[in-house]
Structure 1
Amino acid sequence: MAAKRSIFEEVSEEKPEAQKARPVQTGVIDKARGGARRAIRAWLIVLFAMVVAMIVVGGLTRLTDSGLSITEWAPVTGAVPPLSEEAWNVEFEKYQQIPEFELQNSEMTLSEFKSIYWWEWGHRQLGRVIGLVWAVGFLGFLAARKIPVGWTGRLVLPGVLGGVQGAIGWWMVSSGLGGEMTDVASYRLAVHLGLAFVILGLIGWYVMMLSRPERDLMQARRQKEAKLWGLSTGLLHLVFLQILLGALVAGIDAGRAFPTWPLMAGGVLPPFPFEIEPVWRNFFENAGLVQFMHRTLGYIAFAFAIFVWARSRRSAHRRTRRAFDWMLVMVFGQVVLGIVAVLTQAQWHVAITHQLVAVVVWMLILRGRFLAGYPVASSVREGL
């Protein structure tokens, strides 16, 4: 006759020692979606840092008027800079044939040319290195079959967009090589900078997704705060438009046009805002009107950021609320920096800081949006 069992006894034919030795079995989701999530995340963080550096170097290239120093697009052979005095003279002669030299820098020496050449060469070289790091990483993970299920297409996208960005970069540079242009077309500069922020945001989003297990994301998605998600999405779009306007300001040096605040030359509107014919060109080429649009949208974005922050106070999740706290702090800081940039006529160190803080604001809004869509439940220890 079988021995009596306690109602609390585990029903199993295995001995307790065997049960303890048996490894814990993970869920079906973990098995199906394995891959080297940590390694891929680390690789993407490296790419993220490099894209941030690319944005900063690009801004400095524009501020130093170096963007037109290389007059040819040679994706492969262009990686090698001039290595002899003869080669330097050849490059300088090419530069002497474009309007920027003829109309603006006709007294430039070879030594001065070298200084702007290195900025543009460094900018292009960094782009090549980013492409190489992406290709080596992606092909390596693909060959090792370490890419999680559903992530192959996602990881291809930054590389494709990076290639498109290189082509847009040349499209931008080519606009300043003929006619009477002494700078690149401002709207092409806006497209170039805008795509850089898209690539940065995409990589940042992937890093946030890979920072948590797939099962956690699936569970968190059920608690999505739809209203806050929608508002942060709207703020993201508004700030993106402001970034594009900032590129227009930089493209035509509009930041140096009216160094007064809050008024512009004593008025709300700048003088002669529609003096260029046809009228639509004023929205791209009139320094006063472009700066006015950038200022006005900045005020609107700041007001909307306050509204989104106030809505985030209703979130039940502590980390979500803190994310929007930092977002508002940096948006306010960016507004102050914008005013300082105006009053100092966009001195290069102020202007580049303004651009770098735009990156921080962009990512903080994206982080707040991510946490609205995939909340992290607060523990009792963390508090509400």
Structure 2
Amino acid sequence: MTSSVRSASATDFAVATRPAPRAMAIWLFCVAVMVVAIVAVGGITRLTESGLSITEWKPVTGVLPPLNEAQWQAEYAAYRQIGEFQQVNGPAGMTLADYKFIYFWEWLHRLIGRAIGLAFALPLAWFWIRKQIPQGYTPRLVALLALGSLQGVFGWFMVRSGLNGTMTDVSHFWLSIHLCTALFTLAGLIWTALDLLRLDSIPDARPARITLFTFGVALVLFLQLLLGAWVAGLNAGYASDTWPLMQGRLIPEFDQSRGLLWAMTHDPYLIHFMHRWWAWVAVAVLVTFARRLRSFERRASKAVHTTFGIQIFLGIAVVLSGMSLWLAVAHQFVGALLVASVAWGAHVLGRVR
């Protein structure tokens, strides 16, 4: 009897400590879906000018929104001290009901961020305790956890940059750091999940490697995403509602008084122009990338073609609509899907090189 109990315990332990790459891959894909969702909600937060509605960072107690009138009045009083209210929303006649609307989107954005943190950290601890993480993957998973934690820190630095009494918005530099870190994390989640899926089917498979070609594709796409983040941060989407010309010209007038470098990083008209036309450089590179992919994984090739095609269409539609909220949110959402598709394609080429 004692012997059989010991045998059963030993078997259970062996099962518990066996690597579980497929289960971990599914987990990482689920977290990636949550990251895509928070990118979309972040777009709504930005477009509704909700980002500065919560003026404090409370990682634990901030989970709950104000629950009574006194708490709402306290939050609203804090918001009325910042430049965005004093120079923009206050003179426009903002009411408490208006404030509750923008508060909701910022609170939801932060809540999803906390949910992503738990959805990553708790299963990671579970797999780690049970010794089910395949050899060599622990450092990468810890790095992804660190990136997720940095997202919270970067998000607060972004908010804090707009709380100065003279500011009416967050720094577009901090916004781009916040967004690009999220998209980099998304790509890392997809890449690691694909490595784990391959390991499940081929036990001795080695992780895919990024090639020089795919690094170049990623760099071109990164520049386009960076410019897009600056467009959002500077409200540069409102610089023109015509396409392909801006102000009736191919190259719009822009402020050159502080030099070209300053204009390229601060002037909304020039940044809008660069984002608009660098997109076609990205298209050319992505077409080449997708055509190369076709020989190895047609589904990944189709995903890249589809996402960048929709993204271009949405970008033009956003301009012509005069910055329609939901078209702009869809543009950011599909941008995240494009990053995921490119990560998939780069992984395919990285494992067959």
Deviation for aligned residue 1:116: 0.8
Deviation for aligned residue 1:253: 1.1
Select the structure that is richer in helix: 2
Q: Which moved more, 1:47-56 or 1:328-337?
A: 328-337
TM alignment of 1:1-384, pairs within 5 A = 34-106=18-90, 107-213=93-199, 216=202, 229-275=211-257, 277=258, 279-312=260-293, 315=295, 317=296, 319=297, 321-375=298-352
Q: Which has the higher contact order (CA 8 A, sep 6+)?
A: 2
Deviation for aligned residue 1:250: 0.7
Is residue 174–residue 184 contact of structure 1 (8 Å, CA) maintained in 2? Answer: yes
Is residue 70–residue 117 contact of structure 1 (8 Å, CA) maintained in 2? Answer: yes
Is residue 189–residue 248 contact of structure 1 (8 Å, CA) maintained in 2? Answer: yes
Give the number of equivalent residue pairs.
Answer: 336
| Identity over aligned pairs, percent | 40
What do residues 255-313 of structure 1 show as CA deviations (whole Å, max 9, x unaligned)?
111111111111111113424x3653322331110101101210111122223334446
> 3-state SS of the aligned residue for 1:104?
helix
Q: Distance in 1 between matches of 2:335 and 2:73?
A: 39
Is residue 243–residue 320 contact of structure 2 (8 Å, CA) maintained in 1? Answer: yes
**Residues 326 and 52 (structure 1), Cα distance of their counterparts in 2 relative to 1, 3 Å cut:** closer
Normalised TM-score (structure 2): 0.89
Give the structure 2 partner of residue 15 of structure 1.
Answer: none
Q: Distance in 2 between matches of 1:204 and 1:72?
A: 33
**Residues 225 and 143 (structure 1), Cα distance of their counterparts in 2 relative to 1, 3 Å cut:** closer
Deviation for aligned residue 1:57: 0.9
> 3-state SS of the aligned residue for 1:201?
helix
Letter in 1 for 2:239: A
> 3-state SS of the aligned residue for 2:202?
helix
Letter in 2 for 1:346: M
* Structure 2 residue runs without a partner (length 5+): 1-14
Q: Distance in 2 between matches of 1:155 and 1:374?
A: 20
What do residues 325-352 of structure 1 show as CA deviations (whole Å, max 9, x unaligned)?
4312322221121111111122111101
What do residues 149-203 of structure 1 show as CA deviations (whole Å, max 9, x unaligned)?
1111121112111111111101100111114221101111001000000111101
Is residue 261–residue 339 contact of structure 1 (8 Å, CA) maintained in 2? Answer: yes
Deviation for aligned residue 1:215: 7.0
**Residues 218 and 371 (structure 1), Cα distance of their counterparts in 2 relative to 1, 3 Å cut:** farther
Give the structure 2 partner of residue 21 of structure 1.
Answer: none
What do residues 88-134 of structure 1 show as CA deviations (whole Å, max 9, x unaligned)?
10000000000000011112111111111111111111111111222
Q: Distance in 2 between matches of 1:119 and 1:203?
A: 25
Q: Distance in 2 between matches of 1:270 and 1:230?
A: 35
Letter in 1 for 2:84: E
User: Whose radius of gyration is greater, 1 or 2?
Assistant: 1
Q: Which moved more, 1:282-291 or 1:198-207?
A: 282-291
* Structure 1 residue runs without a partner (length 5+): 1-30, 377-384
Normalised TM-score (structure 1): 0.82
Is residue 18–residue 131 contact of structure 2 (8 Å, CA) maintained in 1? Answer: no
